Structure 1
């Protein structure tokens, strides 16, 4: 079956030379992405016993569900500067930063005085770092204990309280998501929240930077909670050893007891006295021998007690009623599948809950909701996303029925609500979560019924996430980064539960990878594309057209990450396979040739690139006609190659023809027409027709401001290009004003670490130098070079460009000694 996977857009990077006139008459090279492919975006674009406890919770779940009410009747954009530089020095966070989803207090929360006191004592020393682990069985209440301490620290005004989901292996035990989950990924997200330098850095580098900041000797009070650590080795490198930070670790792994510097505070089952007090308070029933019997049936496990209490209270049962129903459940099959369980009564309780849910959930809404939530990310889903009418429709409900199902599951303690700092800007910052054990049990039971369901939970969960991606396009990435990160976590989770992946899932994995690349998160983008390619090769074989598409997309991510050799090798393989399998004139083959030509050009193989673009244009004119969008795209690409090679007459002729065609076919205000005018302006400038170039750029900026608004991404690009032309024409004041405005807008809209913001900062440095403001220019270039060396290494092309720019700035300022020293050190 052919997939509807789109190739990511391939951009042709074009170099513009901006002359910087100074006392030393130095020329600073600044690369601009003024031209770009038009049409070749084409299509390519404790143990198992703990698990049983989880089952118990589910029992309570289904047992008391209330019957719900009846349903109601009824194209391409330009890029700016190719020399990108990450942000500067790491910045300390503002006071009272909260990160992650700190669980709210559980219903009928049972204090643990002994454990709480031991925890406080272990962290009491305010003059040194404190590391405390809370080891215990799943469902024993470790997370609630840590959350209570985290909430207390937040109330006391800690400068940072961060809740890190440290789970590295998904709940199904799959290794497929390796590298996509765990403390490194979470710490990298925290780094972005703290506004540290994240551009073009690996997650490991960002995580290390976070720990350095947390461990700083600045007197700030900070708390890190690593929740649900399933691999102690995964956090070893990310525990602060200096400063006064406090760290809590919740885990079911006992190895943490032997880790250097860590004080363990063991969290066991409730004592019988605590468990009976909990049941009495939660059910409002007197304490009897049956109270003890219920506690024994669920092994005094905190989670099992909570689920049993919810079922008893909502069904208005006595303890004896509940025990009677437990006795009637046949759990032999469950026990066989979950061998090694310590508390079979928990399994029985879960079965009762599911049976009760089925009896009372007339339309199946609450069951369906619970099953879908168990497949999504264990960190939970924003209530704002979950209650979106599109999400409700994907779950075959309207908003009213979804609210009723959510209330029913909440009343049974199957889902809980927590507030997250990541989405504080939303009107509704609430996160809906399902305990991992509950989710595991729900999935276990749902798997048995999947064959009988025409629209199973996996399909519904995929559909729900997909509809939520519909309006998060390329231009929304920077503005809705929080939504993007959350949707990506749900897509990760879907890939761990759905095997083999469906075509719909493969499509949204590709969407996530492309959006991450657009956000500058190349590490996660590559990880998702690599996973997608492996799935396509496994399911369809290495030569299937969809596999070729996936390989192209991975090559694009490799290129964006600076792995040019890997990118070219993949594009060469794709072109060879396409020519052999599809023929040399198939549209997909032509697209592969275009993408390889663009990579050759970027790598300096200009002759090879021009030859391929010339062949592509000839083939497309013959196959599709001279006015077809694909043909106009090839003509644009060849024109840009000619321009960069100094063949200005050929470039201008092609761009003028393309602009005339676009104005006639699409109208003078179509985005592709504006793009053609931009590229023609660049060719005019290179040919010395400066007045024509500035006039075209001024018209483009005015049109884009009127059509799209002053802060649209394309408008910012036009302003950048006009500023560059002003600068080259010696209108330094106008150029600086525009670059300063662009930088301010991009920092506001995209954040200080976004690639477009970094481009603006570099362009402003070039304008400062051209205007003789050497100190300002040098300060930015020094910052860029230091960041590039730390993040990308000394030999990366962007590092070399930063070094050249700084050498040039030193010489322009008369600092010849510094210039020579830097030049020699990099030789």
Structure 2
């Protein structure tokens, strides 16, 4: 027989080379008894790379046998080995008691020519290395010299698959897997694993252009589409298929507009299968469904890791601090947490940054996780848990807390986009957004500050009523945000409303009421309403001197504010006198 290439998929004419990866595979294949694994997220292009490698091998080395085995489960793996036995016409293959793995092993071992075996979708370590039926460890003695199983049975693997892959100097094995753990059942160590990441912008752009074809307007939006889909090959192919099928009534820009409508619209678009792909028929052609299969596997094998993934799906995708993932006051075993992290990293669902306690994940993985949770009726539970953890971690925005606020603010912004449903979560959400808006004000982010404080106020009005102190705090923050944004008239209106309510609810001498008086005086001053601003400042100062005392820092601040206002009106003598009083008191109080 002449060597042949037995790959169950046609070559992809639209394949886009990804740097030196195929060259690396070619060089490694030339090494004696090479074993290499491609690992990474489902849909990242591992199988497509393997397919292209097979065809290039057949072109460059016509004397090489090329075989393909589906390794997603035991039944498919055994069927693939039976097909290989048929392809090379191994003697004894038709014996119902034949150990087809042993037959193929012997043929590969004894073959003098070159061969390449691909094990595709080898995601489950227990498929590649099933536990012994007697509960003991595997022994080389289980492999017999003949072509039948040692126990005479017709069951599947009698040994770990790696033992059926002979270390032949003229053979090589290429494995694709979502997990490092499964890959290490076949390859020797991490040096034999090539992690496959999403595409770079240039290769993603090239893939989209090829898949869209000439009938689709490609003049605008391709780079943007590649970016929002995070350069994930399967997602890119799905999007291109959707647009191409509907052209000319669909375009890249229309797809982008639809995609940005909502999470539910994103899910609808990304759940659409991409048609005839060079993928295992048992695998989904939807990137979201592909990952959700992995989620189910994680949940069945390690529930706590699935819970950790569920929690992480609601934060900003970057800078997820470990402290956000621990239950406040939890005594959970640290080793257990580390095992959960290892599991998620193994599936490439999360990565660890150079700072070991900071995690990152893809937006699309978060979307897939939330969709999976929604399908199980668990979405609001985990959303509430994430809000609770974040609210507990987010401090108020005094200067000494700015660094921590800075780290947590992106997560608060992400939380602001998804209003929770249950009452307890709503209360925490409103409190979180109030603290975040306070920090946004301190950093000059007027838009974020007003948006978050408005959401906070609306919830607090619903839950507590308009005259509640917490509601009034959110109203106060809206006034500050509007003033910061230069919308002085609207800020004045909100400040007047807040002041009136605080005087009624809290009393004229309450510290929060005095804060509202100062805020109103400030926005009046900014509008050139100097007389009213001066009167309000004098009232505030008088009340602070009575309530807080003349030497209180807040009283001294009001004195400085009044001095500045007097100066802006040209009342220089009064301003000087007030400044001298303030200076003398500060020297006494502060030194």
TM-score bracket, shorter-length normalisation: 0.3 to 0.5
TM-score normalised by structure 1 residue count? 0.28
> Structure with the greater relative contact order (CA < 8 A, sep ≥ 6): 1 or 2?
1
